Chains A and B, each alone.
Chain A
Amino acid sequence: MNSKIEHIEYYLPKKYETLKDLKKDNPSWNIKKIYNTTGINKRFIASNENIVDMAEKSCQKLIKKNKIKNIDFLILVTQSSPSGIPTSANILHQKLKLDQKCLCFDINQGCSGFIYALAVAASLIKANICKSGIVVCSEKYSKYIGKNDSSCRPIFSDASSSVFVKKSKKSKIKGFVLGSDGNGYKNLIVPSKNMKIRNKILKKNKIYMDGSNVFLFTLNKVKECFNQILKKSKLEKNKVDYYIFHQASKFVLENLVRKIGIDKKKNIVNLDKVGNTVSASIPIALKMALQKKKIKKNSKVLLLGFGVGYSWGGCIIEC
C-alpha cells in the first residue's frame, strides 16, 4: 500500500519578535551581521500556549478546512512537551475528541522529526494497520532560550504544522533515508541538570548549540543523505523539481546549495517570514510554496531534515 500527503496546515502564535526587539535586550549585538547570517527577521513566540495548544490549532484547521473524518493515527513530533507523562499526543487526542481506534504517540526528534514521523506514517499505511492519519510537528524551543543567547535566540521560532497522510494507489512518498550519529548529542542539547562541555558551563533546561560543529556535520551529512535519497528513488538530480531542506538558517541553506551543487532557484526558503521552526519547518515551507504556486501540482520535491541528535532524514514526495 502506498501513501501520499493530502493536506497541510500550520499555526503560528500571534506574538512575534523582530531583530529590533533582540537589540533592545542586547545592545551589543550586531543585528545586521546576525540578519546576514540567519536570514531571519521575525520569530514567533508562544508565550501563553504550549505545544499541545498550538498542535490543537493546526489540527483543527486541517480537520475543519478539509472535512477530514478518518483519523487512524496521530503522531506528534515534539521536544518541548508540557509534561513527561503522558505523551502530548494523548492530550491532543483528547482535545481533538478523536476515536479510541486512533493510535497516538509522540516522536522526540528535532529538525529531522517530520521526516521520521512521515516514514512511520507511511509504514503504518504500508503494513495495512492504518489507512490515514495526522502527522503533527509542534515545537516551543523559546522556553529553552535565554534572552542573551546569541546562538539560538535569533534563529528558533515556535510553530505547529499538521499534515494529513493517507493511502494512495500511486507511490507519492518514496526513497526514505534516515540516520543518526549520537556522537553529536552534546552539540545541540538542553541538559536536565547543569553540566560542563568543553570548558563551558551549560545551564539546566537551557539550550546550548555549538554552531560550528553543527555546521560541519550539516555540510557533510546532508550531501551524503541527499545522494542516497536520489539513488533509492532512482532519480537523477535534474529530475527533482524542488528541494525543501530544514529551514536552519540562510548561511546553512546557502552552503548546502553550494556543497550539493543544486540550482538555487529550486531551493525553497521561507526563513525570513517564520524563522527556524524545528520539525515544523519543512511542512510549513511546503505549504507556503504550494499556496504561492511556487511548487506546481505533480512536482517532485526532495525533503530533507537534519540537526539535533545528530539525526537526519529525507525522502521524495510528489505533490
Chain B
Amino acid sequence: MLTENKVINLIQATLGKKNKITLKSSSNNTENWDSLNHLNILEKLDKATKGKVAEIAEIATATSVKEIVNILKKKKLLSK
C-alpha cells in the first residue's frame, strides 16, 4: 500500500530533480508539473495501486500533492 512519502517520492521521480517535492507542491509552484507530466503522475499512481487510481475520476483534476494524498486517503489507498 502507498504511504504519503511514497506518493511524494513517486511524484518527485516523475517530475525530476529540478524541484524538491513536498506536501505543499502543486502544478502552480512546480515548474515541471505540466499537463503531460500530470498524465505521467496518474499513470504511475495507477500502476502503484494496481489499477485503482483509474477508477477515481476526481484525481484527474487534483494538481497538488495535498489534494492527491487526501483523495487517496479518502479512497483508503494510503496507509499511515
List A residues at the B interface (Cβ < 8 Å).
33-34, 37, 150-151, 198, 210-213, 215-217, 219-220, 251, 255, 258-259
Contacts and interface: CB of A to CB of B under 8 A. Distances in A.
Given A198-B61, A210-B60, A215 B51 contact: no
Interface stretch (B5-13, B37-45, B69-77): B37-45
A151 B35 CA distance: 8
Contacts of B47: 258
B75 to A, nearest CB: 13
**Which 3 A-B pairs rank lowest in CB-CB distance, beginning with the nearest?**
A219-B54, A212-B60, A213-B60
Interface residues of B, number: 17
Interface SS of B by simple majority: helix
Contacts of A219: 46, 51, 54
Contacts of B53: 216
A259 B51 contact: yes
Contact of A220 (B38, B39, B55): B55
Contact of B42 (A34, A37, A198, A215): A215
24 contacts: A33-B36, A34-B36, A37-B36, A37-B39, A198-B61, A210-B60, A211-B35, A211-B38, A212-B42, A212-B60, A215-B39, A215-B60, A216-B42, A216-B53, A216-B54, A216-B56, A216-B57, A216-B59, A216-B60, A217-B57, A251-B43, A255-B43, A259-B51, A259-B54
Given A198-B61, A212-B42, 13 more contacts: A37-B36, A151-B35, A210-B60, A210-B61, A212-B39, A212-B60, A216-B42, A216-B53, A216-B54, A219-B46, A220-B55, A251-B43, A255-B43
A291 B53 CA distance: 39
Nearest to B57: A216
A38 to B, nearest CB: 9
A268 to B, nearest CB: 22
Interface SS of A by simple majority: helix
A198 B35 CA distance: 15
Interface in B18-60: 35-36, 38-39, 42-43, 46-47, 51, 53-57, 59-60
A39 to B, nearest CB: 13
A220 B36 contact: no
Contacts of B46: 219, 255, 259
A180 to B, nearest CB: 16
A27 to B, nearest CB: 16
A202 to B, nearest CB: 15
A219 B49 CA distance: 14
